[in-house]
């Protein structure tokens, strides 16, 4: 390739130039498309082209994770690799603890449970010593059958700690299925060798006699 850049000091801008994408309109799909075009042009330094593509894709994936905690890439390849989904690499992200709303109380700190006094009926029987009694509205739940109590999952805080992926990439693994290309190259067509029947041979007769017998059988 004409743009030779040291891999150790390559910047995102230099990598974009190698892939052939304008920095003002960069998207993951455009980077992968530019890489495919450059690759099919038989670059002089194939390894550098792969590294340039990987560097830009890592940057874009990290930016997506930073904004929305996940990344989403639509592969532009017709024969996209199913293992890496077109990226050419498998990403592993660092992880960090964050505070999120408790999924039990939805951050409201309390939950509704069945009233123990009326067992969820909303009413209870007040018995008289001499027999009989009155069916009264439960004074604990006010006839609702449920009461609000402190959430036992978050201990009434409304928040819990959750470990989620960070936007920083911990490591990458080159996809072996597509050899980091992101797409599968067509397999070369191998011509099958025609089977040639060898002349008959017999340890008892000579080779010349066996060849003659073989010709007679063919006729």
Residue-level pLDDT at 4: 47
Q: Name the domain count of the chain.
A: 1
Burial class (CB in 10 A: 0-12, 13-18, 19+), 188: exposed
- Has residue 27 been placed in a domain? yes
Residue 137 lies in a domain: no
Residue 133 placed within a domain: no
Q: Integer distance in angstroms from the first to the last C-alpha of the chain? A: 62
For the segment 63-97, what is each residue's pLDDT rounded down to a tens digit? 999 999 899 999 999 999 999 999 999 999 999 99
The helix/strand/coil state of 156 is coil
Encode pLDDT of 92-127 as tens digits: 999 999 999 999 999 999 999 999 999 999 998 888
Look at residue 146 and tell me if it is in a domain. no
**99, 168 contact by CB (below 8 A):** no
131 within a domain of the structure (yes/no): no
Domain presence at residue 32 = yes
pLDDT level of residue 218 (50, 70, 90 thresholds):
low
Note the pTM of the prediction, 2 decimals: 0.64
User: Of 14-28, 84-98, 105-119, 148-162, which gets the smallest average pLDDT?
Assistant: 14-28
Domain that holds residue 208: 7-109+151-186+194-218
> How do beta strands 110-114 and 123-127 pair?
unpaired
120 occurs within a structural domain: no
Q: Strand (E) positions, the chain?
A: 89-101, 110-114, 123-127, 133-137, 146-150, 159-174
- Which two three-digit tokens encode residue 127? 């018995």
Place of tokens 């709303």: 101
Q: Is residue 165 part of a domain?
A: yes
Q: How many CB atoms lie within 10 A of CB 62?
A: 17
Q: Please report the pLDDT score of residue 198 as a whole number.
A: 63
């Amino acid at each position: 390739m004409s743009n030779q850049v040291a891999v150790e000091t390559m910047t995102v801008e230099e990598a974009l130039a190698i892939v052939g994408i304008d920095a003002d309109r960069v998207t993951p799909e455009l980077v992968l498309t530019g890489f495919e075009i450059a690759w099919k042009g038989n670059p002089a330094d194939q390894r550098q082209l792969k590294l340039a593509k990987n560097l830009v894709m890592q940057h874009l994936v990290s930016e997506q994770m930073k904004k929305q905690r996940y990344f989403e890439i639509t592969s532009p390849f017709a024969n996209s690799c199913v293992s890496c989904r077109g990226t050419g690499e498998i990403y592993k992200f660092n992880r960090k603890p964050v505070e999120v709303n408790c999924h039990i109380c939805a951050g409201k700190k309390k939950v509704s449970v069945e009233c123990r006094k009326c067992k969820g009926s909303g009413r209870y029987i007040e018995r008289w010593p001499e027999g009989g009694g009155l069916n009264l509205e439960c004074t604990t739940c006010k006839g609702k059958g449920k009461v609000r109590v402190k959430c036992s999952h978050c201990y009434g805080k409304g928040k819990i700690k959750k470990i989620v992926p960070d936007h920083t990439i911990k490591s990458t693994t080159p996809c072996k299925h597509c050899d980091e290309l992101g797409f599968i190259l067509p397999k070369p067509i191998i011509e099958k060798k025609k089977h040639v029947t060898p002349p008959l041979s017999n340890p008892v007769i000579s080779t010349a006699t066996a060849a003659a017998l073989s010709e007679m059988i063919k006729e």
